[in-house]
Structure formats: C-alpha cells, structure tokens
Structure 1
Amino acid sequence: MTGGGSAGHVTPNLALVPRLKELGYEIEYIGTKDGIERKIIEENHIKYHVISSGKLRRYFDVKNFTDPFKVIKGIWEAYEIIKKEKPNIVFSKGGFVAVPVVLGAYFNKIPVIAHESDITPGLANKLSSPYATKICVTFPEAAKKLNKNKAVLTGNPIRKELFEGSKIKGIKLCGFTESKPVIFVMGGSLGARAINDVLRRNLNVLLKTYNIIHICGKGNIEEKYIHNKDYKQFEYINEELPHMIAAADIVLSRAGANSIFEFLALKKPNLLIPLSAKSSRGDQILNAKSFEKSGYSLVLEEEKLEDRTLIEKINELYNNKENYIRNMENSKTGNGVEAIVGLIEKFSIK
C-alpha cells in the first residue's frame, strides 16, 4: 500500500486492512520519512518502508527545480523495495508519495489498483493513471475524467470501527456535564485556521446552546480554554474518534471526500466549509456542492465565513437535522470496502 501527505491519503487504506487480512494478505506500506502516513501506519503495526519523494505542485516554487530529482530517487527506491518484497499487488491512495511507488510497481510488472476520492482527480493520480491497472472512484463525475477502461465506481472505503462508536463513551471522554446538543468540529488532519479562529471568537454565544468537541490540528490547542467544561479541544484523535462522532448531533467540517463520505455513512448532519479555490485546486468546493445538491450537507463558503453566518448556519443545520438524516438514509452510496477488495482479489498475482 501507499499514499500520503495527509490523513485522507492514509485512513482509507486502513479501512481495507482488516478485510484483506481475513483473506490472508500480508500488508506492507511505502511512504515518506516524515509524512503523517508514517505515524498512522506504524501505530497500526504495519511494516513501513521509507522512500524519498518531492511534492507535486501546480504553482511556482523554488523547490520545483529540486523536487523532480527526489521523485526520480523515490522511483528507484520504490523499485528496489518492490523487487525485494515481491508483492502480489499494490494499492495506491494518491498523494505525492504514490507516484514513485506506482512507477516502481509498473517497472516490476506488479499490478496497481489506485483510488481517487474527489470529483476531480488529483495530480498524483493523474500522473499515476497510465501505469495503474484500475482506478477506483467515489464520485461518478470522476470516472468521466479518467480512462473509461480503467475507472471503476466503487465508493469510498469506510473504517469498520467508525460504526462501533458509543455516544455515552464520547460524552464521558469529553467530561460534558450539561445535556446540550453536541457539535463535532474538524478541520482536517492538519487543522483549519479559518475555522478555528471564527469558532473560538463565537464560543460565548455557541456554548449557551451547544457542547463542542473541536479537533483543531497539531499545535493549535488554546491554553485559555483547556478547563472549559463545555468545549473540549484535541490536536488529533485516533482510537476515540468513533465515540466522539457518535456523541455529535451535528458536524462542522472541511469537505475532504473521505470525511464527508464517513459523515454520510454515519448519518451525521453536517455543515461544510470547503477550502477556497485560492488555497486549493477547488476539489472540496465541488465535493461540497455535490453533497449539498443531494441534500446531505449544508454549505458555507469560506469567503462568506464570518461570526454571524457561522452561528446562523449552525442553528439552521441543527433545526433541520432530521431532514438531512432522512436524505442520508435514502442514499444508495455504500461502503466501498468490498468493491475495492474485490478488484484487489481479481488482479492480484496468484
């Protein structure tokens, strides 16, 4: 397996691991030395191989002149690892580390199954697609932008443990004493400053009505709120995440595909604040619009994010939460684990 750069390029891999192990597969992972994927994968006791990889950018940066050499080095390192380990198949979740691994597999004549979560394929998957055997997609729109002979609509793999959360445990972990509705706030694995700042500016108003669980990202804990009994902040949560989400009545989040499909599977009404087109390739905006159109999400554009609009949208979502739950219950989008594992089984070298 490979994928890295953010938790969104790692956690879908972990959703596949239990089922693959049931079928007798041994799992190994190729990632970068300092990427977030290393910590997550090693915590799950999966053998981890390190390669060099440069970041793939769509904008000018002086590192654009040096990173291609890191990618070339990474291709050689991945080739050598794959040649030595002799895997039956490689599964790639994208991110910049994936390109050297996919090419390393291709040169070793090892089949590759890739997965694209967003409506518009990321740069890594675009570069990898000629060398992949099949490319799994989550949105039907993504299939139209890829080789029609390779694209397969599978949905997103959802971790089994997310369905095993306990609302009571979540409340207890946070130490909430008042029985107010709970908002779960998540800005992605690295946090989201825009969301963090506007939320904290309005805590005095929001905490009159709600308890708040806030995943604020590494280094973003605010000391002055540590002892607040109605507002609990965490840099990152792993094992306790199912219980925290189970405790939530509504969710406030960015619009990364992995997260929003988890909210859909868990039937959690959500307010999405997608990354603006200024600071991304615009994929989160498209994801959010698709979910809004289907009636699964309420959307607030970052350009319109301010004190008043945040409070209004949160209250609107909570007051109409039953409508969103009903729409999500009627969704035909399922867990992609079985469909993806089926492709891995089909194309693995026997």
Structure 2
Amino acid sequence: MKPTIAFTGGHHNSALVVAKELRKEGYQIIWFGHKFTSRGDKSLSAEYQEVTASNIKFLELKTGKFYRKSGGDWLMIAFGFIQSLLYLIRYRPSLIFSSGGYLSVPIVITGWLLSIPSLTHEQTVVAGWANRAISPFVRKILLTHESSLKNFPKGKSVVVGLPVRKEILSRKYTKAFSPPLIYITCGKQGSHVINQEIFPIIPELVKKYTVVHQTGANTETKDMEKARRLKDKLGDLRDRYQYAPYFFAQQAATYLRSAKIIVSRAGAHNSYELLVLGKRAILIPIPWVSHNEQLLNAQLVAKNTGSLILEEKDLTPESLLKAIIELGKSPKVKPSVKLPIDATKKIISIIHQYI
C-alpha cells in the first residue's frame, strides 16, 4: 500500500484535481477542510460535498483566522493547533499538500513539528497571507503566476500554473443555449451581496437570455428561497431561470463553457479558467480580501479577454444591468495570454520527489 497524503487549504477545486490523480496511482488520501459553508451555518460546504463524493476521507478542521484580533478567534486558533496535532498523530501522513488559506496554517506548522514534509500551492497573482506565513515550514512553494515569484524564497519556489478540472477543457461540455446563456457564479459559497442586486433584474434578463444562477446555500440569508419565489413570478418565462446553491464539476463546466456572459467574483480559480477559455465576464471583486488580490485577478482577466470590472461599491441593479447590456453588445476579444494547462502533471512530479 502506498503512503498517505494529507490535503488542506482554502482552494479545494484545484487541489481535488491533484488528489484524484494521486489516488489513481494508489496513494491514500485524507482531507482536512470546512464541513459547513460558514461558522454558525449548517449548510454543507461545496468542499465537503465534492471531496466526499470523490470517496476521499474528510476530516473537519476548526480554527480561527490569524489576521483577526478577537478573543474568540485566538481560542479557535489554539483549538485548531490541538486538533491538527491529534489528527496528524493519528493518521501520520507521509506528506501534507496545502492550497493556502488559514486552515493550512495549523496543519503545516504542526506537521513541521512532527517532521512531516509539506508542499504548498499559491493560486493568486500576489501572495496570500497564509502561504507567506507557512513558507518557512514547507519544502517547496508551487506558484500559479510568475508575478508571485518575488514574494517567496527563490530556492523554494517554482511556477507550475493551476490544475484545471478536465471537464473545463472538454468540448463535450459545450452546449448551445437558446436564448443565450448568462451564468452567475460567485465562488463556492455564492454571494449574498451580488444576489441582492441580481434578483431585481432577473425579470428583465429572462426576456433575452437563459439565466443560470448559483445562489449559495446559506440558511441565514435564505437566497435559495428568494430565488424560488422569484422563479414562480416569471410566468411563461420561468423555465429560462434556473438556480442552485452550487454547481458541481460537469454542470459548472457546461455553463462556463457555454455562457455568452458570465457574472462572477474574481477568485483565483475562476479567473484562471476564464483566461484558459477566453471567456468574457462581468467581474465583481471582493474588496476586503488579502492584498486586494481579487481586483488584481480581475484586471488580468479584463486586460486579456475584454471582460468588465464592476467594483462592489458601484454595484446596483441598474449598474449591473447596464454592464450586462454593454458586454452583450461588445465584440469578442481574442485572449492575449496563454496559460499552462499541465499543472497537475507538474505538481504530481514534484510530490513524487518528497514522498
């Protein structure tokens, strides 16, 4: 039996691509992650659902965010280190693979104390707080973009790109929609902020488009229920509006590949996939993320695909509808950047060197 590899971090989509390939090679995989969408909410996270659907052992990890200063977070940080220690002693993986995010910090540092080697992957165009924090404790830092090289130790860092889901690259998931498709996707948790501004213009959009809307599953905001009530009011056009809390691999690939217009945040994975496919989008970056990385992602996508950036401070139903109309009328732009799509192979080759 081949050794066990532990996965953890904040970006599960690309890490799961790597985990699945390693499991095909016979490695045992365990996963430390978020079981629920957010603290206090009991909706199962997309991470939990996708990982467990892949028959990978999932272990819920609870910890605090290190860049916050509240007493509650410090208690959760201490709990996270204790929980990480107990997990690693029990399962004793031969390697830890991190994809950044605050969950990775206690696992990687505790692993270092137990002499378990770690690798980490940075997905953003800058350098996430967590990956900078754990960089002294990992053997290798794998980067998505060359622009990140200046932020990490040269001897440890190598540019590999971002693992892309096979479905995203497959033409069989391209579908013709009539009327054309608008795909609203806002990360694994959805976006209540964007939902509030998109709901009022859905009746106008379905006159000319098919609208597929990823609402998120948060039980506190009740956006799924709002989408249901809205659909019921659309009359003869109700079939043009489809919604779900989250779309998994094949559905997401179909909508992403087939959409005429995409409305989304500007996370690392979504931005990379838009660039790979050359898709145009209206990008609404999260304004409070570390180092304003989503705005930088959005600027990269806009520069190379003709996408539009709509900052959250300017977001209203009127401004969003105006941007959709403008993007719908503008000509397509041929992407001016070519990103690597063989990152999975490169990462697995590096993993083999440390296990």
Please state which band the TM-score falls in when normalised by the shorter chain: 0.7 to 0.9
Structure 2 unaligned spans of 5+:
1-5, 38-44, 233-237
**CA spacing shift, 1:73–1:193, aligned 2, 3 Å:** closer
* Deviation of 1:284 (Å): 0.5
Q: Secondary structure at the match of 1:27?
A: strand
Name the residue aligned to 2:18. Answer: 16
Change in CA separation of 1:67 and 1:316 when aligned onto 2, cut-off 3 Å = same
Q: What residue is the counterpart of 2:307 in the other structure? A: 297
Does the CA contact (< 8 Å) of 1:113 and 1:343 recur in 2? no
How far the C-alpha of 1:19 sits from its partner, in A, is: 2.0
Q: Look up the SS of the partner of 2:335 in the other structure.
A: helix
- Between stretches 330-339 and 116-125, larger displacement belongs to 330-339
Q: Which amino acid aligns with 1:297?
A: S
Task: Spell out, residue by residue over 1:115-169, the C-alpha distance to the aligned partner (whole angstroms, 9 max, x if none).
Answer: 111123222222211101111121222221122222221111111133345344x
In the other structure, the counterpart of 1:205 is 204
Unaligned runs of 5+ in 1: 172-178
Name the counterpart of 1:166. Answer: 173
SS at match of 1:2: strand
Structure 1 residues 292 and 333: alpha-carbon distance in aligned structure 2, compared to 1, 3 A threshold: farther
Q: Which of 220, 225, 229 matches 1:224?
A: 229
Residues matched between the structures, number = 329
- Give, in whole Å, the separation in 2 of the partners of 1:131 and 1:147: 12
Letter in 2 for 1:16: V
Aligned-pair CA distance for 1:281: 4.6
After TM superposition, the structure 1 = structure 2 runs for residues 1-350 of structure 1, keeping only pairs within 5 Å, are 1-4=6-9, 9-32=11-34, 34=36, 36=45, 37-58=47-68, 60=69, 64-164=70-170, 166-168=173-175, 179-218=178-217, 219-221=222-224, 222=226, 223-227=228-232, 228-239=238-249, 240-277=251-288, 281-295=291-305, 297-320=307-330, 322-323=332-333, 326-327=334-335, 331-348=338-355
Would the alpha carbon gap of residues 85 and 307 (structure 1) be closer, same or farther in structure 2, given more than 3 Å must change? closer
2:79 and 2:195 mapped to 1: Cα distance? Answer: 38
Q: How far does the alpha carbon of each residue in 1:33-67 deviate from its partner, in whole angstroms, 9 at most, with x for none? A: 54633343222211123444222234x4xxx3243
1:204-241 deviation line (CA, Å, top 9, x unaligned)? 33222211111011131223223412111111121522
Cα distance in 2, alignment partners of residues 335 and 214 from structure 1: 30
Give the distance between the partners of 2:197 and 2:190, measured in 1 at CA.
13
Q: RMSD value over aligned CA atoms?
A: 2.4
Structure 1 CA distance, aligned partners of 2:50 and 2:278?
A: 26
TM-score for both structures, normalised by structure 1: 0.85
Given that 1:252 and 1:272 are in contact with CA atoms closer than 8 Å, whether structure 2 keeps it comes out as yes
**Deviation string for 1:76-116 (max 9, x for gaps)?**
43234323433221100122221111012211212211011
CA distance in 2, matches of 1:68, 1:333: 39
CA 1:81–1:307 in 2, change beyond 3 Å: closer, same or farther?
A: closer
**Per-residue CA distance 1:225-259 (angstroms, 9 max, x = gap):** 23412111111121522223233222110000111
Inter-partner Cα distance in structure 2 for 1:282 and 1:236: 25
What secondary structure sits across from 2:8 in the alignment?
A: coil
CA contact (8 A) 1:89 1:112 kept: yes
Closer/same/farther in 2, CA of residues 322 and 2 from structure 1, 3 Å limit: same
User: Secondary structure at the residue paired with 2:141?
Assistant: strand
Deviations 1:248-287 (A, max 9, x none): 222110000111112222332222111124x765211111
Give the Cα–Cα distance (whole angstroms) in 1 for the partners of residues 316 and 16 of structure 2. 36
Distance in 2 between residues matched to 1:161 and 1:105, nearest whole Å: 33
Query: Quick one: structure 1 residues 126 and 23, their matched pair in 2 at CA, closer, same or farther if it must change by over 3 Å?
Result: same
* Alpha-carbon shift at residue 16 of structure 1 (Å): 0.8
CA contact (8 A) 1:87 1:110 kept: yes
Cα distance in 2, alignment partners of residues 70 and 276 from structure 1? 25
Q: 3-state DSSP class of the match of 1:54? A: coil
The TM-score, its normalising length taken from structure 2, stands at: 0.84
CA separation of 1:181 and 1:147: change in aligned 2, threshold 3 A: same
Distance in 2 between the 1:310 and 1:341 partners? Answer: 41
User: 1:186 deviation in Å?
Assistant: 0.9
Q: Equivalent residue for 1:175?
A: none
- Partners of 1:182 and 1:211 within 8 A in 2: yes
- What is the CA–CA distance in structure 1 between the aligned matches of 2:194 and 2:167, rounded to whole Å? 27
1:296, distance to aligned residue in structure 2 (A): 5.5
CA deviation string 1:287-331 (max 9, x = no partner): 1112223346322222222344323322332333531xx216x52
